[in-house]
Structure 1
């Protein structure tokens, strides 16, 4: 090889090494190295989850926060944000510079709330937070009738907007920090209104998820990391002994894999449960729990599985998916929604299982066919990280599996399922029992007659 070619080759390698060294020092932008901190709670959904349901995480009519900022497909509602901001400024006499300075002082906290780098300057970031935050607060106030809304306002008059809007506000990529909302609410609050921001939010979403006022009052002063987290927490029982975070020393499992205990003696009943139709053949009965405060409040006692009724529709399906994405990404929270979806996915393996739960008024199906409901729960729970040993239903998993082990109630349930599943099967079984009984009586009569004659001799 000529000498000059070798020198060129060495120079090229040296340049590449320098480039590599620079890249080693560059901080990640798509997933910040600080994304595991407690303060970071707004995430871009991983592609592995997006592939399961591509439409579940993308806003359809409104962008909130930086992830979908500037999307031209969402420009229609974006224009109305300025009108809502003008409404608030006019009503409260607050100056824009006052709002900008209040939010601008939180810049570092705001940036720390996102898992990826925000490509906006300080002023643009503050402007976006003010515009989006005031839009949300004014929306809650107008719906809650704290402030007047224009009688012909299309946001409230066009029937198609409301359901899309409510789903968009609960998408994980469409969030701003809750402390931003709190600050904007406090500085724009009028003295004659004593409602909390939380109570307004719950009343707003109660148009989609109808819950009693006494349930909503329990969460009227609670907080969350953002709207999605706050609304998610309003279904979680604070008195329940639920683990606050997943232990890094415990193994996670997928839907189809159970990892044995590494230290403790394994509990062989702590495993995923059978589908609803198979549980019935094992003697388990199903009943809708209409007294529960939350769809998470599932109970099992003396062979009866009490499950709160849930209306499966587009709102709940999107809510479940975004809650699960949040729980998969955010280390510092319970995994209760993930646990619930995995549990329901176990129960609803086929359309027959869904039909059984619908018959027992546990599922109100506005989602599609029974097959589509079963497919939804099976697909969304298939590849999520789920720790069988560290969730709020782990004792129920054990109790159900223990109950379904061999025992008299299991054998009796199997007998009933085999011989009394239909009227004709019951008639056939009854006829067979009668024939058997007559045969036994005839045999006894013959034996008794024989010994009687033998005795007379």
Structure 2
């Protein structure tokens, strides 16, 4: 009884001690281990740490001098004094801390200092790129590109609201170029333009969590389609579908958006938006998918896209079909191994947990499966696969058909002469 009482007392103490975790406030996460293990480097900053999750990484300390230099430039041209900037961050500190899913072991002063220096570095970097101010970073394109990739990693984020507050405070909307004001969003989109397929800038009142979320929003128009608790099941790859007569055409973006999800299958033609596949594609895809897994578990539209393309591209031949159609621009490492395209989408969708699928994708998969399985289309696919796979087999098949026709004609003529 005494033992039972002591356990009860200890458990009651735990109830008082254990903090309630408000998961709704989280927007910046450590990538779950089961996702991270497939490619650790795609989620880990290589040059610069932003925010607390990689703050003490010894590999990233070289960039601290660059950050301090940019912090100095930022404060020199800021309309707000340093005490005002510090006060701004200190006021937002609880909200900033609550944005991270991990416990942050920094004092209030250490945390405020880190947030201000990192924020100043980002804003100043955006300015210098926009107005092409040459310096030690901008004079080294490889360094700038690597920093840009680090800035879209899910684990390497600052909440967008703190960047925006400091930006507005420091420049008070007097940042002009020919009389035009530039928002922080405008500068960010301009900075990341080489990663993106030129999508439009989102509205200024868009609710952006951070840069990883911004990449998702830029690629994703506001989805109006519903979702169903079904798994996506495309039974055939692009090459098989092509053999059955399916045509693949680039679905050009409209003037209002550049959504990569705009696909349509109609009358045997699949229209897919253009996408550039280069060395950085896997980075942004992986991190956006990781964000959806953590923050958008019921609205994982980019994950739907990755799953669909992954099922469409299973082999080098499948990749070749989409590249030939101009749907994919392939620029991975300068090589010619098309299997890396298939591997990219296959790897990104590994360990992905999905709860539902866009009804648009489900319909496209059903329609394409039905198209392939139509008796005429399936026979045409078999004919192409068995007799027209290479130029030599095509020539041999045509020669055989011609020979058969001539034989039939000869036979008929012989019968008529009897």
TM-score, normalized by length of structure 2?
A: 0.87
SS at match of 2:276: strand
Separation in structure 2 between the aligned mates of residue 314 and residue 430 of structure 1, nearest angstrom: 43
Question: Which one of 275, 283, 307 corresponds to residue 245 of structure 2?
Answer: 283
Q: 1:427 to 1:86 in 2, by over 3 A?
A: closer
The CA RMSD over aligned residues, in Å, is 2.9
1:272 aligned residue (234, 243, 249): 234
Distance (Å, rounded) in 1 between the aligned partners of 2:221 and 2:393: 45
Quick one: structure 1 residues 388 and 332, their matched pair in 2 at CA, closer, same or farther if it must change by over 3 Å? closer
**1:186 equivalent among 161, 165, 168:** 168
Alignment of structure 1 residues 2-401 onto 2, 5 Å: 22-23=13-14, 26-27=17-18, 33-35=21-23, 37=24, 39-145=25-131, 149=133, 151=134, 153-189=135-171, 190-193=173-176, 194-209=181-196, 211=198, 215-219=199-203, 222-238=206-222, 240-242=223-225, 250=229, 258=231, 271-291=233-253, 293-331=258-296, 334-368=299-333, 369-387=337-355, 389-390=357-358, 393-401=361-369
Q: How many residues align?
A: 407
> How far apart, CA to CA, are the structure 1 residues paired with 2:182 and 2:200?
13
Instruction: List alignment gaps of at least 5 residues for structure 2.
Output: none
* Cα distance, 1:290 vs structure 2: 4.9
1:18–1:68 CA distance, 2 compared to 1 (3 A): farther
CA distance in structure 1 between the aligned counterparts of 2:12 and 2:359, rounded to whole angstroms: 44
Distance 1:402 1:105 in 2: 59
Q: Distance in 2 between matches of 1:186 and 1:22?
A: 45
Secondary structure of 2:308's match? helix
SS in 2 for 1:160: helix
Structure 1 stretch displaced more, 18-27 or 117-126: 18-27
In 1, are the aligned partners of 2:35 and 2:350 still within 8 Å (CA)?
A: no
The CA deviation at 1:186 is 0.8
| Cα deviation 1:62-115 (Å, max 9, x = unaligned) | 111111112222122222222222222221342222112122222232122111
Instruction: Classify 1:75/1:389 alpha carbon distance in 2 versus 1 (closer, same or farther; 3 Å).
Output: closer
Whether contact under 8 Å (1:328, 1:384) holds in the other structure is yes
Partners in 2 of 1:167 and 1:27 — Cα distance?
37
Name the SS for the 1:311 alignment partner: strand
Q: What secondary structure does 1:300 align onto?
A: strand
Given that 1:350 and 1:371 are in contact with CA atoms closer than 8 Å, whether structure 2 keeps it comes out as yes
Match of 1:454 in 2: none
> 1:415 aligned to 2:383?
yes
Moved more, 82-91 or 389-398: 389-398
Q: Check the 8 A contact 2:79/2:169 in 1, yes or no.
A: no
> Deviation at 1:277?
1.9
